[in-house]
Structure 1
Amino acid sequence: MIGRIIWFATLAALALLTAGLQLDMQSKGTAQLARAVPAPLRSYAQTHIAHAALQAGDAQLAVAEAKRLVRRRPLPAENLTLLAAAHARAGEVDQATQAIRIAGQRGWREGAAQEAVLRLALSAGDDAEAARRYAALFLRPQTPDRLLEELGPAVMGEAGGLGQQTVIAVVVGGERWHPQFLRRGASVMPPAAFSAIAAGSLAKGAQFDCTQLKQSAAAIAQRDAGAASTLRAAAARRCPDITG
């Protein structure tokens, strides 16, 4: 009798465990399910829990939830950047830097963490890293234009500086992003910085489409005539009719 009770209890426990694991898997694409997953079984669900804590502004809770996430899923870079962002929000710069250093080998994909890492890099005086994070945010269609407009001056404001040079390297190395750079950059980047980056990219061999380049110059002219003149002069050899 006792053996049967133990057997049925074991089956019930296994059923609950299986249901919890399945719910956790489903939460990967449905954030609303995360809270329904029992805390000890949260793996994919823990990503949503940690992200929500970070967005809520409770720094210590965000650190605790992000640490729990990294313990359960240590490999994804996004989890480490969430931990870095949480440490940064809590003012724990050394811990944030350590998490960034580890995650730096894996890349960043998550927008909120990208922004947090960018701001941390700026505060640490790492202009190159800030520019790389800006480029990553820029290339995400989901990134609001207002955020790019806000961050642009701090990242690329120094003429010929490391921030501009880093973005030039990104543009030159990513030909498939040229149309997005010319279209979006002309509206969200500081005009002088955009012109300098476009000119620097041309000098390093970027093969911009002339029609798109002409449209960018016209858009910049509405914001800064001097920056537009700089861009047209730099592009005149490749696109002779850009001044027309």
Structure 2
Amino acid sequence: MIARLIWFAGMLGLAVLTTLLQIDRQSDLTPSLASLVPAPLRSEAQVQIAAGAVEGTDSQRGLEEARRLVMKRPVPAEHLTLLAMAQTKAGELEQAGVTIQIAGQRGWREPLAQEAVLRIALQAGDKAEAARRYAALFLRSATPDDLLRELGPTVLDEPDGPGQSTLVDIISGTDRWNATFLRRGARVMPTTAFADIAAATLKRGARYDCAVLEQSIKEAERSEPAAAQRLRDAAIGLCPKLKS
């Protein structure tokens, strides 16, 4: 009799555990379920708990929940970004700076981390690092153009400076996003910086579609004719028909 009771209790416990684990997994899609999962069993649920706490008014609770999340799941860059946000709200600015830099190194596709590291790099006067983060945001199609327009003038303000030179190195090192650079760069970068960067990559041997290049030059001519002419001159070797 006692053995049977122990067996039923064991089966009941296993059923409860399985149910709670399923709720934890479902909380990724239904955040309201997160609070039903006991703290020791939280995985996906802890993400929701931490995010809600960080967005709340109790900064210390937000910090505690974010730390708990990172202790449970330290690898994702998004979790470190959440911890950095919690540290900032709790007044731990130096720690937040370190955390967000680690997040940025770990997750190049994590936009909040990239933007935060970019701004930290600008504050530190590290235009090269800021340009690398700008490139990461630039390549992400979901990054708003307005954000790139806001950041571009500060990152790329020095002709032949570290910001522009870093982008030239990145673009010249691959031909995978040349068309994207021309189309989006002409739209979101400061015109003079865009034209000078494009011209420098051409001198480095970068290859572009001539039709796309011509369209970019025409767009640049509307606001900065002199810069557009420099780009046209640099492009003639690749696209002879561009000769004015």
Give the TM bin, normalised by the shorter chain.
0.7 to 0.9
| Partner Cα distance (1:185, 1:57) in 2 | 40
| Partner Cα distance (2:89, 2:206) in 1 | 38
Post-superposition offset of 1:137: 0.8
The residue number in structure 1 matching 2:134 is 134
Is 2:210 aligned against 1:210? Answer: yes
Query: What are structure 2's unaligned runs of at least 5 residues?
Result: none
The residue number in structure 2 matching 1:16 is 16
Change (3 A) 1:75 1:211: same
Paired residue secondary structure (2:106): coil
Displacement over 4 Å in runs of 4+: 1-7, 48-62, 88-91
The residue number in structure 2 matching 1:181 is 181
Given the alignment, which residue of 24, 31, 43 partners 1:34?
31
Query: What RMSD, in angstroms, separates the aligned Cα atoms of the two structures?
Result: 2.7
| Partner Cα distance (1:7, 1:56) in 2 | 44
- Residues 167 and 197, structure 1, Cα contact 8 Å, conserved in 2: yes
Post-superposition offset of 1:113: 2.2
| Partner Cα distance (2:114, 2:218) in 1 | 31
| Letter in structure 2 aligned against 1:34 | P
Post-superposition offset of 1:141: 0.8
**TM-score normalised to the size of structure 1?**
0.84
| Partner Cα distance (1:104, 1:6) in 2 | 51
Change (3 A) 1:234 1:9: same
- Residues 81 and 117, structure 1, Cα contact 8 Å, conserved in 2: no
Change (3 A) 1:144 1:53: farther
What aligned pairs does 1:1-244 form with structure 2 within 5 A after superposition?
7-28=7-28, 30=29, 33-37=30-34, 38=37, 40=39, 41-51=41-51, 62-88=62-88, 92-103=92-103, 105-244=105-244
Which deviates further from its counterpart, 181-190 or 84-93?
84-93
- Residues 77 and 106, structure 1, Cα contact 8 Å, conserved in 2: yes
| Partner Cα distance (2:169, 2:38) in 1 | 44
